[in-house]
């Protein structure tokens, strides 16, 4: 049931992106989908209920909510800028947006067959990727300071970077607590406190900064453990 709500939220995010460029509404539905995804996994671990059909449905929901939805948001955003400020022949650059759902699907397929990712992640998780894009596009859409060309170049470069990060071998910590002691949970608590501060200061646009902070903290933790 929770997985179905995740899938529904992802579909609604796509609808919002296509409906008069409602980036904030699309972003909110991506956030809702990530909440459902978290509680779906939490409930499964708590109740120790697992099934093959549940696993497949969860992957399908994640592809839509955290792959197709952010890809659609990016596509509509690039189309909007290119249509208003550049020749129509450059509109094809907006198709780079669909690398995000493609690499999200690849990331999920790798995750499903990789038994190394029980307590941590290898590569950027697709929910984190989707939250970054929802926040980043929302921030860019309301920014009049950044020139359109810089927005396009920045978004396309980030598409390539985040597509790589999702399928990379970079180890990233999860927010799964085996216990609530400070020891061995330092990074998790620091990330939670940092996230609260960033959300208070920057509101929803701060989520993109939180995801970047998460990636840097994961790199630091990975280097420190070597």
What pLDDT, on a 0 to 100 scale, did the predictor assign at position 52? 63
3-state secondary structure at position 168: coil
Nearest CA among 212, 222, 43, 217 for reference residue 131: 212
Confidence label for 22 from pLDDT (cuts 50, 70 and 90):
confident
What pLDDT, on a 0 to 100 scale, did the predictor assign at position 59? 84
Confidence label for 220 from pLDDT (cuts 50, 70 and 90):
confident
Helix and strand numbers (H, E) in the chain are: 9, 2
Q: What is the pLDDT of residues 95-115, one digit of tens each?
A: 999 999 999 999 998 888 877
Q: Which of 106-110, 180-184, 208-212 has the lowest mean pLDDT?
A: 180-184
Q: What is the pLDDT of residues 59-95, one digit of tens each?
A: 889 999 999 999 999 999 999 998 877 777 677 889 9
Say yes or no to pLDDT of 37 above 80.
yes
Beta strands in the chain (DSSP E): 120-122, 171-173
CATH of 2-171, picked from 1.20.120, 1.10.3470, 3.40.50, 3.30.420, is 1.20.120
Q: What is the pLDDT of residues 106-165, one digit of tens each?
A: 999 888 887 777 667 889 999 999 999 999 999 998 888 889 899 999 999 999 999 999
For helices 69-85 and 148-167, give the axis angle rounded to 10 degrees. 160
Burial 179-190 (b: 16+ CB within 10 A, else e): eeeeeebebbee
Predicted model pTM: 0.90
User: Which are the contacts of 38, defined by CB distance < 8 A and separation ≥ 6?
Assistant: 127
Q: By percentage, how much of the chain surpasses pLDDT 70? A: 89
CA dist 139 and 122 (Å) reads 28
Tokens found for residue 136: 């980043």
Confidence label for 184 from pLDDT (cuts 50, 70 and 90):
confident
Residues in the chain: 226
């Amino acid at each position: 049931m929770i997985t179905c709500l995740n899938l529904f939220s992802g579909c609604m995010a796509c609808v919002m992106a296509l409906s008069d460029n409602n980036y904030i509404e699309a972003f909110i539905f991506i956030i809702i989908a990530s909440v459902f995804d978290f509680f779906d996994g939490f409930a499964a671990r708590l109740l120790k209920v697992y099934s093959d059909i549940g696993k497949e449905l969860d992957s399908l929901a994640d592809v839509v909510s955290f792959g197709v939805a952010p890809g659609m948001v990016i596509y509509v955003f690039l189309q909007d800028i290119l249509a208003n400020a550049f020749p129509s022949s450059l509109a094809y650059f907006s198709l780079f947006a669909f690398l995000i759902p493609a690499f999200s699907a690849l990331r999920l397929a790798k995750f499903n067959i990789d038994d190394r990712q029980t307590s941590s992640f290898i590569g950027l998780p697709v929910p984190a990727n989707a939250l970054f894009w929802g926040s980043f596009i929302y921030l860019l859409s309301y920014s009049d300071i950044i020139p359109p060309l810089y927005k396009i170049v920045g978004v396309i470069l980030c598409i390539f970077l985040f597509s790589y990060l999702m399928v990379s071998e970079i180890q990233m910590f999860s927010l799964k607590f085996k216990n609530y002691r400070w020891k061995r949970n330092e990074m998790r608590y620091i990330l939670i406190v940092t996230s609260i501060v960033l959300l208070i200061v920057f509101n929803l646009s701060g989520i993109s900064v939180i995801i970047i902070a998460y990636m840097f903290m994961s790199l630091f933790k990975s280097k420190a453990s070597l």
